[in-house]
């Protein structure tokens, strides 16, 4: 049944694809049905020997794909066979049979003629004498031809990740394709590919010791697998590994031949001019200093040689002159001097290209990436040739620093994007597992595309694994960005997984994927501090407990699916889902329970010692599943997965404390929200109960000694409810306290207590406060956000009113934010009236009058007056370009409007704090002059900013990482 459901899923998934019209069918006959393999016959694959090498390679791989599915091997023929159905594959102009069909009017290639990476797939009946049917795959160029044939491979059930992620292949005895003629459109982005980076931790150890031990490096055999993957993903561009631990790509002459045989365009990243890897190819002892000012001729000599060696192949040439590897330009130059040096260096590099390739420079693909400090140099008046593609980078953490402004969008070279889903560098690395939210990638990359970034997209993928899904998403968007929108981006990863593992798991996979990305949005697993406390609160708002419970839920679901799958699918699921989810859960469980251990130790809880053992077990489990990953399929991926990254010498375990216990059972009490009590209060108090938001709070009864502690809890009043009145524990028990609102007295200062005593006569009192005013009634405030324990917490998407105009529309965007949904304050490219009416370089403007400006309004009810701090939780999005800002307006009632910024200067303290939590938290102070109903207003200033939540603090807000949950009365 599992295999049947998976087959049905495969059929469905290719039916609904927006660009594929190939469907596996059971029906025997039909003009639109082509029998690839039946019980009685096998089609023949026909190609032309004079075709491109990459096409011939793809044809052979396709034959292997059919064999993977059916166990039967199709014949390969150069001469058209008679009496057989034929799969005819070739490039227009290179394949004589396709040329003949075109000349005879049997094959219409007009939609793709003179195109870029396009293909036609169609069935032609009686195409040649003796041939009943031909499935024709014709490409306008070599990659277009391969893309067309590999789309057939996907239709029969072979994933691009069949090798790199061991995606299961469903076996079938027969293959019949229903084909509606396809004429593919040009890819959205011209050059689309990956940058292999920080390969020290996974790809290099694996390739050198397991896959390619004969050379002990990442060499031609590894690059052949990488290039095949890219071609199957409809990608076309590769920036190779460049760390000094790996010999340079061009050190092995076969590497460039392998890349060209798969039609992969070679490039290099921001610091590698003209395909030259200065990290490992520059020899200071023989070549001098890597300093353009002092050693211009020496540098140009090696660059010229590289173009001579590689110029006959298809490349995109990077114009660059930074320091060695990822360092700043040598010479300690001023920005003005750096700009002039870059201009001269680029002139030299373009002259080298012209002279060695014998083409005008503007006909040779070139790119310039103003990465890190180079962006400041570029913005300092550097002149760049108009035909060079500007490749804008994000801040290494997912947010593009700037895009082309109104003038730059007119450039003939247009622009591109350099994006990270893996990164080594400050403020923290994330090299272990891939957790960038798909919605963030779409939001930033689609915005870039609209700002003319349609020439080159490259994504830093680290070791390739475990970024399999993110590579797929990146390439799918680059190939056809119009397939995507905010409504379907969050189902893409689930569709990706369901195609491999079955539609029956969709509901659980949706929960797993959504929660996995949501939890990592708040804090990536790599950022969970092991030796110090995180900002997640153990005692306030049950923040840590909720996070741990969510991880426990999705890791249990992942394990349940793993145990249900057929054994052929287990390795892929382990790599693509289970290890990521379980690994993230274990890191959080280890870290947060260690934090809880240290808190408990300070309180002298015996449970601290139990937690210490549990924390060790989580760390042990993490090492065990990592070993299991590396041992999959008899060690196929041995060395690929490691818990040691970024230069660490060992896997960092969480720090724990132990506690010396009293020899006899000893009573201890701790209340919810009662952190940091030393020197603050000696009284146990739980948060005040509020009739508008009925809820419960907890009291922990714990043992600070050895032996069994017997205890009992006695409320002072019948309206105080406890779920446990007595017990006995060696460690701790939690009492949930609530209120019987039918019995509680009316009043604003109702109080009571709970006496907790032990069998040995110890006694501690927990004080209970209730806010139960006679008016207003709960019904009167229904739908409003209400003050609770000195704060109001507002969900950004739960506005009461919005005022939009023709340009500014407010949208709910799911898949982002602490609560998995945010409010987008207008489209980033929209025109806003603020630019005419207000000076947006200021932090403050006068009160806004009238109804001119787009605004979101949130109503809340307060019981206090005086100054209030309003915290706005924003996504840390940079300004669209250097002609825009990232400001938004905050107003309470009729206060002045404050204009904080969502973005922050790269490498500034606010930026560091913001990118680690994917949230810029800004505070503005306002004044409320009377109790009652009030309104927070959020104005769109610079459009495109995204609001996560709002918290109004009357003085009761407790320390936490994500702030309290909403206080709306439903």
pLDDT band at residue 395 using 50, 70 and 90 as cut-offs: very high
Q: Going by C-beta distance under 8 Å and a sequence separation of 6 or more, which residues neighbour residue 165? A: 159, 465, 468, 572, 575, 576
Chain centre distance of CA 798 = 26
Q: Going by C-beta distance under 8 Å and a sequence separation of 6 or more, which residues neighbour residue 40? A: none
Using CA atoms, how far apart are residues 470 and 438, in angstroms rounded to an integer?
8
pLDDT score for 18:
35
> 895-930 burial by CB neighbour count: b if 16+ within 10 A, else e?
bbbbbbbbbbebeeeebeebbbbbbbbbebebebee
Q: Nearest-CA neighbor of 459 among 116, 243, 189?
A: 189
Query: Could you report the per-residue pLDDT of 604-660, keeping only the tens digit for each?
Result: 999 999 999 999 999 999 999 999 999 999 999 999 999 998 878 789 999 999 999
More confident residue, 845 or 356: 356
| Residue 242 reports pLDDT greater than 80 | yes
Strand spans (E) along 683-730: 684-685, 689-690, 697-703, 709-715, 720-722, 726-729
pTM beyond 0.75: yes
Other CB atoms closer than 10 Å to residue 847's CB: what's the count? Answer: 10
Using CA atoms, how far apart are residues 970 and 965, in angstroms rounded to an integer?
13
Other CB atoms closer than 10 Å to residue 965's CB: what's the count? Answer: 18
Residue showing tokens 């968007």 = 477
pLDDT band at residue 21 using 50, 70 and 90 as cut-offs: confident
Other CB atoms closer than 10 Å to residue 12's CB: what's the count? Answer: 14
Long-range contacts, 610-614 (Cβ 8 Å, 24+): 610/731, 611/656, 612/656, 612/657, 612/658
pLDDT score for 850:
59
Query: Could you report the per-residue pLDDT of 692-739, keeping only the tens digit for each?
Result: 998 999 999 999 999 999 999 999 999 999 999 999 999 999 999 999
Q: What is the 3-state secondary structure (H, E, C) of 339-398?
A: HHHHHHHHHHHHHHHHHHHCCCHHHCCEEECCCCHHHHHHCCCCCCCCCCEEEEEECCCC
Residue showing tokens 């041995």 = 638
Least confident of 249-263, 763-777, 839-853: 839-853
Query: Could you report the per-residue pLDDT of 288-345, keeping only the tens digit for each?
Result: 999 999 999 999 999 999 999 999 999 999 999 998 888 889 888 899 999 999 999 9
| Residue 6 reports pLDDT greater than 60 | no
Q: What is the mean pLDDT of residues 923-944?
A: 96
Q: Nearest-CA neighbor of 715 among 678, 744, 683?
A: 744
Using CA atoms, how far apart are residues 327 and 198, in angstroms rounded to an integer?
15
Beta carbons of 538 and 562 less than 8 angstroms apart: no
Q: What is the mean pLDDT of residues 489-502?
A: 98
Distances (CA, A) of 370 to 237, 335, 374, 407, 575: 19, 13, 5, 17, 35
């Amino acid at each position: 049944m599992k295999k049947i459901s998976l087959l049905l899923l495969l059929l469905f998934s290719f039916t609904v694809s927006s660009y594929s019209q190939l469907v596996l069918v059971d029906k025997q006959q039909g003009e639109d049905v082509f029998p690839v393999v039946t019980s009685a016959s096998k089609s023949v694959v026909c190609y032309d020997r004079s075709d491109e090498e990459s096409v011939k390679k793809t044809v052979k791989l396709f034959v292997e794909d059919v064999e993977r599915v059916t166990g039967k091997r199709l014949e390969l023929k150069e001469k058209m066979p008679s009496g057989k159905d034929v799969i005819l594959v070739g490039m227009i102009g290179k394949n004589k049979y396709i040329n003949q069909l075109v000349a005879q009017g049997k094959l219409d290639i007009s939609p793709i003629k003179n195109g870029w990476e396009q293909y036609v797939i169609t069935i032609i009946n009686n195409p040649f004498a003796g041939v009943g049917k031909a499935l024709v795959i014709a490409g306008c160029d070599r990659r277009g031809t391969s893309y067309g044939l590999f789309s057939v491979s996907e239709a029969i059930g072979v994933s691009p990740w069949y090798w790199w992620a061991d995606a299961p292949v469903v076996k079938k005895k027969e293959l019949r394709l229903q084909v509606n003629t396809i004429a593919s459109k040009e890819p959205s982005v011209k050059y689309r590919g990956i940058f292999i980076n920080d390969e020290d931790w996974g790809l290099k150890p694996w390739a050198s010791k397991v896959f390619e031990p004969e050379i002990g490096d990442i060499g031609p055999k590894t690059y052949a697998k990488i290039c095949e993957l890219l071609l199957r993903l409809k990608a076309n561009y590769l920036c190779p590994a460049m760390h000094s631990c790996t010999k340079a790509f061009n050190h092995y002459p076969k590497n460039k031949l392998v890349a060209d045989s798969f039609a992969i365009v070679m490039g290099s990243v921001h610091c590698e001019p003209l395909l030259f890897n200065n990290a490992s190819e520059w020899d200071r002892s023989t070549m001098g200093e890597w300093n353009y000012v002092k050693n211009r001729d020496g540098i140009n000599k090696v660059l010229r040689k590289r173009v001579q060696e590689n110029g006959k192949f298809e490349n995109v040439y990077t114009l660059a002159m930074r320091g060695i590897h990822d360092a700043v330009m040598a010479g300690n130059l001023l920005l003005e001097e750096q700009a002039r040096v870059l201009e001269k260096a680029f002139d030299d590099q373009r002259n080298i290209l012209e002279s060695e390739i014998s083409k005008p420079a503007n006909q040779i693909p070139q790119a310039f990436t103003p990465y890190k400090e180079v962006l400041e140099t570029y913005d300092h008046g550097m002149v760049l040739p108009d035909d060079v593609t500007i490749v804008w980078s994000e801040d290494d953490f997912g947010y593009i620093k700037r895009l082309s402004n109104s003038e730059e969008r007119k450039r003939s070279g247009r622009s591109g994007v350099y994006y990270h889903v893996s990164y080594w560098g400050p403020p923290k690395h994330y090299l272990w597992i891939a957790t960038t939210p798909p919605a963030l990638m779409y939001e930033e990359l689609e915005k870039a595309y609209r700002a003319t970034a349609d020439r080159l997209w490259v994504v830093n993928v680290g070791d390739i694994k475990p970024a399999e899904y993110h590579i797929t998403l990146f390439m799918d968007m680059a190939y056809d960005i119009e397939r995507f929108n905010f409504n379907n981006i969050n189902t893409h990863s689930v569709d990706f997984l369901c195609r491999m593992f079955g539609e029956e798991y969709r509901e659980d996979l949706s929960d797993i994927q959504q929660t996995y990305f949501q939890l990592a949005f708040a804090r990536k697993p790599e950022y969970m501090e092991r030796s110090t406390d995180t900002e997640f609160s153990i005692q306030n708002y049950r923040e840590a407990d909720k996070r741990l419970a969510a991880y426990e839920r999705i890791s249990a679901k992942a394990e349940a699916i793993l145990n249900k799958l057929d054994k052929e699918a287990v390795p892929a699921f382990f790599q693509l889902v289970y290890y990521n989810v379980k690994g993230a859960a274990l890191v959080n469980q280890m870290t947060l329970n260690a934090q809880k251990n240290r808190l408990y130790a300070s309180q002298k809880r015996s449970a601290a010692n139990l937690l210490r053992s549990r924390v060790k077990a989580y760390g042990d489990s993490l090492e065990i599943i990592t070993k299991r990953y590396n041992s999959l399929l008899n060690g196929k991926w041995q060395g690929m997965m490691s818990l040691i990254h970024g230069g660490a010498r060992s896997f960092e375990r969480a720090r724990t404390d132990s506690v010396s216990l009293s020899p006899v059972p000893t009573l201890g009490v701790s209340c919810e929200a009662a952190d940091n009590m030393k020197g603050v209060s000696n009284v146990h108090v739980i948060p005040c109960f509020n009739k508008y938001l009925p809820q419960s709070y907890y009291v922990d009864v714990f043992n600070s000694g050895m032996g069994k502690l017997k205890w009992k809890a006695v409320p002072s009043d019948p309206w105080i409810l406890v779920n446990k009145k007595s017990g006995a524990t060696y460690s701790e028990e939690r009492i949930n306290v609530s209120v019987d609102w039918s019995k509680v007295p009316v009043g604003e200062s109702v109080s009571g207590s709970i006496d907790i005593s032990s069998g040995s006569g110890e006694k501690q009192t927990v004080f209970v406060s209730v806010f139960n005013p006679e008016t207003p009634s709960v019904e009167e405030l229904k739908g409003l956000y209400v003050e609770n324990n000195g704060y109001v917490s507002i969900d950004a998407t739960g506005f009461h009113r919005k005022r939009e105009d023709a340009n500014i529309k407010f949208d709910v965007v799911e898949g982002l934010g602490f609560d998995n949904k945010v409010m987008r304050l207008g489209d980033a490219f929209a025109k806003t009236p603020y630019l005419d009416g207000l000076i947006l370089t200021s932090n403050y403007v006068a009160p806004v009058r009238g109804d001119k400006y787009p605004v979101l309004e949130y109503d809340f009810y307060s019981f206090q007056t005086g100054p209030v701090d309003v915290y706005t939780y924003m996504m840390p999005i940079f300004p669209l370009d250097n002609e825009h800002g990232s400001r938004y307006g905050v107003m309470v009632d009729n206060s002045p409007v404050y204009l904080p910024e969502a973005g922050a200067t790269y490498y500034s303290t606010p930026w560091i704090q913001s990118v680690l939590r994917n949230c810029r938290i800004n505070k503005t102070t306002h004044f409320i002059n009377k109790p009652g109903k009030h309104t927070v207003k959020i104005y769109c200033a610079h459009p495109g900013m995204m609001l996560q939540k709002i918290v109004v603090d009357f003085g009761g807000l407790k320390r936490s990482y994500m702030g309290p949950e909403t206080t709306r009365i439903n």
